[in-house]
Amino acid sequence: MLENVQNLQNQIESTTLATKEDADKFKLTHLSKKGSIQELFKAFREVPPAEKKAFGAALNALKQLAEQRYTEASQSFESESVLGENGDLTRSGNPHDLGSIHPINAIKDEILDIFKRIGFNVSTGPEVEDDWHNFTALNFPEEHPARDMQDTFFVQRNPDWALRTHTSSVQVRAMENVAPPIRTISPGRVFRNEAISSRSHCVFHQIEGLYIDKDVSFADLKQVLMYFAQEFFGKAKIRMRPSYFPFTEPSAEVDVYWGLENEIDHKITKGTGWLEVMGCGMVDPNVLKANGIDPDIYTGYAFGMGIERIAMNRYQIPDIRLFTENDKRFLSQFKTGL
Ligand code: PHE
């Protein structure tokens, strides 16, 4: 009897298990209910009592050996097979998650497109600026509070350098580089030393526009802003409130009439129906002069807006910090189905 066990062991040891079919056949031959090992277990009854113990032990060891060979073989096929043991070609795949366009970029592109359609080109400039481009050429007096450490991030190694506080610096570069007529729009990241909260952040994005030519008037500015309001907000009604910027004179804040039809309107316009959108004004003659443009020949207008604020209104985003946290749950809401 022990001989039978030995023979079977030789057979089990020498079987090649190169393919899944081999392994299946092996399982059927040796490990199934009617398999060779079970047959030997049935023969157990006929074994003389003195031999039972040795026979039983040998048979158990054999069963373990066969099981081990089978498991090892089938595991190796599993890791080789792309489909796995239960491969099903009709199952849907695991598609790679497509990214989404960041809401700041989406708004930026939309605004740029609106101005590109009426002849503005797009200009960009460095995020680290010198005092001239960020302040002096824009008619900031020497002691203007915006130059203060509280508002501006200065570069420690060279206090003449700072992270730009607005993209008006790009417009100075435009005036430096090209002669009028200039019609340019400058998007970019800007930096201010502000306490971070749900409404304010020390890094945000602006888009600023500049138009310099002969006979540019405040009426031209107003017309262009009405066009923008109509294109972007679908509402052409705007109002201008007097304001102050060192680089424009006169200066104004621009509000778009949003309406007060429902609760959200009340919320985003703080109950006024008006949405504050941007600052603007006629380029101060001092700025033109500082940049080598004769204010007796040329006039111009400029405007600037914060993209975060507009995006927060458009998408009802309650906290500005969401834009920079890169939380996929936030970002994936802006999928455009591209
Ligand atoms: N540079 C201004 C700001 O940072 C915006 C502005 C641009 C205002 C152009 C008037 C004209 O807020």
DSSP labels, 236-296? --EEEEEEEETTEEEEEEEEEE----SHHHHHHTTTSSEEEEEEEEEEPHHHHHHTT--TT
Number of structural domains the chain divides into:
2
Domain presence at residue 92: no
141 in the same domain as 76: no
Ligand 1 neighbours (beta carbon < 6 A) = 166, 168, 208, 245, 248, 279-281, 302-304
194-230: burial string, b at 16+ Cβ within 10 Å, e else: eeeeeeebebbbbbbbbbbeeebeeebbbebbbebbe
Specify if 97 maps to a domain: no
CATH code where residue 226 lies: 3.30.930.10
Q: What distance in angstroms lies between residue 169's CA and the mean position of ligand 1's atoms?
A: 10
Note whether 9 and 135 are same-domain residues: no
Q: What is the pTM of this model?
A: 0.72
Cβ(259)–Cβ(265) below 8 Å: yes
**Chain length of the chain:** 338
In a domain, 275, yes or no: yes
Q: How far apart are CA 286 and CA 210, in angstroms?
A: 15
- Residue 91 maps to a domain: no
The domain in which residue 16 lies consists of 2-83
Question: From the CA of 7, how far away is ligand 1's center (Å)?
Answer: 93
pLDDT digits (tens), the chain, 338 positions: 778 888 999 999 999 888 888 999 999 999 999 899 988 888 888 888 888 888 888 889 999 999 999 998 888 776 655 665 667 778 787 878 788 899 999 999 999 999 999 999 999 999 999 999 999 999 998 888 877 766 899 998 998 999 999 999 999 999 999 999 999 999 999 999 988 888 888 999 999 999 999 999 999 999 999 999 999 999 889 999 999 999 999 999 999 998 898 888 888 888 999 989 999 999 999 999 999 999 999 999 999 999 999 999 889 888 899 999 999 999 989 887 55
Query: What distance in Å separates the CA atoms of residue 63 and residue 59, rounded to the nearest whole number?
Result: 6
Same domain, 139 and 273: yes
CA pair distance 27, 21, nearest whole angstrom: 10
**Nearest-5° Cα angle at 87, 81 to 93:** 100
Same domain, 74 and 129: no
* 166, 172, 203, 216: residue to mutate for ligand 1 pocket, most atoms within 8 A of CB: 166
Is the link from the previous residue into 250 a cis peptide, with omega within 30 of 0? yes
- Tell me if 159 is assigned to some domain: yes
Q: Work out which ligand 1 atom sits closest to the CA atom of 306.
A: 12
d(CA 78, CA 277): 61
Q: Are residues 30 and 139 in the same domain?
A: no
Do the domain assignments include residue 263? Answer: yes
**What is the DSSP secondary structure assignment for residue 297, as one 8-state letter?**
T
Which among 35, 53, 83 is the end of a domain?
83
Out of 139, 193, 208, mutate this one to test ligand 1's pocket (max ligand atoms within 8 Å of CB): namely 208
Exposed, middle or buried by CB within 10 Å (0-12, 13-18, 19+), for 90?
exposed
Same domain, 130 and 73: no
Asked if residue 34 is part of any domain, the answer here is yes
